[in-house]
A and B are shown apart, each in its own frame.
Chain A
Amino acid sequence: MVQFLRFAFIRLVLAFITLCLVSFIVFSLMEMVPGDCAERYLAFKNSQGAQISIADIEAERVRLGLDRPFLERWTGWIFNAFQGEFGDSCILRLNINQLLGQKVWLSIGICLGSLLLAYIIAIPVGIIAATSRNPFLNNGLRLVSYLGLALPNFLLALMIMLFSTVMFGDSLTGLFSPQYRDAPWDAAKVRDFLSHVWLPVFILGWSATAFAIQTVRALMSDEISKLYVTAAAARGVSGRRLLLRYPARHALSPIINSLGFDLNRIFNELPIVALILTLTEAGSLLIEALARSNDQQLAGAIIFFLTGSIVAINFITDIVLALVDPRIRRSILG
Chain B
Amino acid sequence: MKMADTNSYDAAIDQTAKDAYFTASQGQLIWTRFKKQKAAMVAAWVLVVLILSGIFAPFLTPYDPTIAGRDKDYLNGAPTVPHFCDDNGCSFRPFIYALERERSIKTNFRWVTTVNKDKRHYLKFFVEGSEYSLFFMTFNTHLFGVDEGYIHLFGTDSTGKDIFSRTFHAINTSLAVGTIGVLIAFVLALVIGGISGFYGGWADSVIQMATDAVRTIPAIPLFMALAAFIPDTWSAEERFFFISIILGFIGWPTLARRVRTHILTERNQEYVLAARLCGASSGHVIRKHLLPSFTSYIIVDLVISFPYMVLSETALSFIGLGLKDPVNSLGVMLQNVTSADVLLNYQWYFIPVVFFIILVMAFVFVGDGLRDAADPYGDTKK
Contact = CB atoms under 8 A, between A and B. Distances in A.
A43 to B, nearest CB: 14
Given A154-B315, A271-B220, A303 B338 contact: no
A220 to B, nearest CB: 12
B195 interface: no
Nearest to B358: A150
B228 A294 contact: yes
Contact of A149 (B39, B224, B318, B364): B364
A267 B218 contact: yes
Contacts of B11: none
B228 A30 contact: no
A18 B213 contact: yes
A289 B225 CA distance: 8
Interface in B334-374: 334, 337-338, 340, 343-344, 353, 356-357, 360-361, 364-365, 368
A21 interface: yes
Nearest to A20: B213
Contact of A151 (B216, B357, B365): B357
B216 A311 contact: yes
Interface residues of B, number: 44
A22 B293 CA distance: 34
A269 B312 CA distance: 10
A241 interface: no
A311 B340 CA distance: 40
Interface stretch (A158-166, A185-193, A246-254): A158-166
A195 interface: no
A21 B215 contact: no
Contacts of B365: 146
Contacts of B212: 18
Interface in B188-242: 209-210, 212-222, 224-229
B311 interface: yes
B228 A291 contact: yes
A41 B291 CA distance: 53
Given A18-B212, A292-B228, A294-B228, A303 B361 contact: no
B318 A162 contact: no
Given A146-B365, A162-B343, A290-B221, A22 B314 contact: no
B355 to A, nearest CB: 11
Contact of A155 (B229, B334, B368): B334
B2 interface: no
B314 A34 contact: no
B353 A155 contact: yes
Nearest to B308: A149
Interface in A57-76: none
B220 A268 contact: yes
Nearest to A286: B221
Given A146-B365, A162-B343, A299 B318 contact: no
A261 to B, nearest CB: 7
B381 A310 contact: no
Contact of B225 (A35, A146, A290, A310): A290
A268 B251 CA distance: 13
Contact of B340 (A150, A165, A269): A165
Given A152-B314, A152-B315, A290-B225, 9 more contacts: A18-B213, A29-B222, A151-B357, A155-B353, A264-B215, A267-B220, A271-B319, A276-B338, A303-B225
25 contacts: A18-B213, A18-B216, A21-B209, A21-B210, A26-B222, A29-B222, A33-B229, A35-B229, A147-B357, A150-B360, A152-B315, A162-B343, A166-B343, A267-B220, A268-B219, A268-B220, A269-B220, A276-B338, A291-B225, A291-B319, A291-B321, A303-B225, A306-B218, A306-B221, A311-B216
